[in-house]
Amino acid sequence: MGKGVAVVVGGSVAGLACAHAAAAAGWDAVVLEKAAAPAAGAGGGTGAGLGLDAQSMETLARWIPGWGLDDATLPLAVDLNRATDSETKAARTLARDDGFNFRAAHWGDLHRRLHEALPAAAVTVLWGHQFLSFEAPDDKPGVVATARVLRTGETVEVAGDLLVAADGSTSSIRRRFLPDLKLRYSGYCAWRGVFDFTGKESSETVTGIRTAYPELGNCLYFDLAYKTHAVLYELPRSRLNWLWYINGPEPELTGSSVTLEATDAMVSRMRDEAGRVWCPELARLIKNTERPFVNVIYDADPLPRLAWAGGRVVLVGDAAHPTTPHGLRSTNMSVMDARVLGACLARWDRLPRATAEYETARRPVVAAQVVHARRLGRVKQGLPVDGEAQGFDVRTVTVDEAMQLRQRTMPFFDGAPTADASDL
């Protein structure tokens, strides 16, 4: 029996990372996840690409013994922002950083590896369990979570000492404490897709994209056109990950998902527009990608607290800091949330002290990164920022103005406090 039991709501990357961190701190963990099974890996089509910074890579290596760095990720050593002239299709460099030091991974592959490496003696994952509610009564210690077993329809209760809310950007647990907090629409959506070129290396699509983007496999490309931008980088196992951000009114969504199902007509219009805006090679890649989808981009103002109910409930991952994706922070913040929470649980026997220290360490970091990512997205989309009447114009930008496009302008770019013993 461990020092305590953490009930983790959400079995995505943030939730599994917290289970690892809790186990490393001597705790037991029970993870509630409504999905029926873990991601199938990079070949399963679940999720898309992500960028991991050096601090996250070092942290993940603690939890995933034998994780082959070269096999599981590709280098993103260069952060390159370019301007595209939509009429001539010519590209020019705006800002380049050769010391970026990130790695590209596939969400499904990372999720699968985190799941397979969980210590079975300390962690139980209850797949197919939809979280319904929780109780943390003032007159009793601990928490009790209620979930529905989707296969049978029965309702079960899971008791623990700590509830970890890793239930995403639309978190129902966060809503319990902050009912008036609303997600903030960014002003744009992202078309995205993963192009699988297994066995197609010599195809016109791949040879063309490698000619237009010669540093693929080592570079994070940001192409900026007037009031729009696209992202392109290579993933392990013969995949290219792309995103294209388009300004527009907020779409209507159903349920709690921020992903919009794209109709054939929507996809057709998007592909036609890609040919007008982007170079032929990128437009061809977008056209030939199967099942592109739309993410509606939201964030939220920084939360006033991350620990609640006398320290018995903590928010992590997107539940704690819904953020726009432009600083590649979502997964990295989730990994560091887990690491810091684990370090605090290991150091303190009294739960309120541990969760208070977690909040003290993480809240300033994630607040600064959320606000900066918001600004960076608006700059790259040509939307006004900081009360300016006009937005960033890629057609007339100066060399000095272009420096704000680099990823290293992100607060804590070189690493955030970990709450490890070495930090004290």
Q: What residues does 7 pair with on adjacent strands?
A: 30, 163
Secondary structure (3-state) at 320: coil
CATH 3.50.50.60 positions along the chain are 5-67+110-182+301-423
Could you tell me the fold of the domain covering 75-108+184-299?
Answer: D-Amino Acid Oxidase; Chain A, domain 2 (3.30.9)
Instruction: Sort strands 162-165 and 313-315 into parallel, antiparallel or unpaired.
Output: parallel
Percent of the chain as helix, strand, coil, to the nearest 5: 35, 30, 40
What is the distance in angstroms between the CA of the first residue and the CA of the last residue of the chain?
29
Rounded percentage of the chain residues whose pLDDT exceeds 90: 88
What does the alpha-carbon distance between residue 265 and residue 348 come to, in Å, rounded to a whole number?
Answer: 56
d(CA 146, CA 136): 12
Distance CA 106, CA 52 (A): 10
pTM, two decimals, is: 0.95
Going by their DSSP bridges, the two strands 49-52 and 74-76 should be labelled as: unpaired
- Beta strand ranges found along 57-142 (DSSP E): 74-76, 78-84, 91-97, 102-106, 123-127, 129-135
Q: DSSP 3-state assignment of 345? A: helix
Mean pLDDT of the 8-20 span = 98
For the chain, where do the domains classified as CATH 3.30.9.60 start and end?
Answer: 75-108+184-299
pLDDT in tens, 94-133: 999 999 999 999 999 999 999 999 999 999 999 999 999 9
Nearest alpha-carbon partner for 164 in 323, 53, 20, 298: 20
Q: What is the mean pLDDT of residues 378-389?
A: 89
CATH architecture for segment(s) 5-67+110-182+301-423: 3-Layer(bba) Sandwich (3.50)
According to the model, what pLDDT value does residue 42 have?
A: 43
What pLDDT digit, counting tens, does each position of 305-318 carry?
Answer: 999 999 999 999 99
pLDDT of residue 423: 58
The three-class DSSP label of residue 237 is coil
Report the C-alpha gap between 149 and 364 in whole angstroms. Answer: 37
Q: For residue range 72-99, list pLDDT tens digits in order.
A: 899 999 999 999 999 999 999 999 999 9
pLDDT, averaged across the chain: 94
Distances in whole angstroms, Cα of residue 239 to Cα of each of 110, 216, 231: 15, 11, 14
pLDDT at 43: 43
Neighbours of 88 (CB within 10 A): 8
Token pair for 230: 């696209």
pLDDT given for residue 344 in this prediction: 98
Residue-wise pLDDT tens digits, 212-254:
999 999 999 999 999 999 999 999 999 999 999 999 999 987 7
Q: Which residue has the tokens 């290219």?
A: 240
pLDDT tens-digit readout, 30-51: 999 999 988 765 444 446 899 9
